[in-house]
Amino acid sequence: MNHIRTLAIVLSRTDFGEADRILTLLTPEYGKLRLMARGVRKERSKLAGGIELFTIADISYLPGRGEVGTLTSARMKQHYGRIVEDINRVQLGYLLMKILNRATEDQPESGYFNLLHDSLKALNTPSVSLMLIKTWFEAGMLRLAGHSPNLKTDESAQPLVMSSLYTFEASNGTFQVSGSGHFSSDHIKLLRLLFGQVSPEVLQKVQGIDGLLPDCEQLLESMLKAHIRI
Whether 47 is covered by a domain: the verdict is: yes
| Boundary residue ending a domain (57, 79, 101) | 79
Structure confidence at residue 166 (pLDDT): 97
Contact, 59 vs 96, CB < 8 A? no
Phi and psi at 146, nearest 5°, equal 80, 30
Distance between CA 89 and CA 52 in Å, rounded?
16
Domain identity same for 202 and 146 = yes
Confidence of residue 44 (pLDDT cuts 50, 70, 90): confident
Domain count, the chain: 2
Query: Given 79, 94, 109, which residue is the final one in a domain?
Result: 79
95 falls within a domain: no
Which of 79, 113, 144 represents a domain boundary (last residue)? 79
pTM of the model: 0.93
122, part of any domain: no
pLDDT for res 181: 94
User: Which structural domain range is residue 176 located in?
Assistant: 127-227
Model confidence at 1: pLDDT above 80: no
Main-chain dihedrals φ then ψ at residue 166, nearest 5 degrees: -135, 150
Over residues 145-164, the mean pLDDT reads 95
Mean of pLDDT over the chain = 94
69 with 143, same domain? no
Neighbours of 111 (CB within 10 A): 14
Confidence of residue 48 (pLDDT cuts 50, 70, 90): confident
In CATH, what number is assigned to the domain containing residue 71? Answer: 2.40.50.140
Give pLDDT, residue 203: 97
d(Cα 82, Cα 62) in Å, to the nearest integer? 32
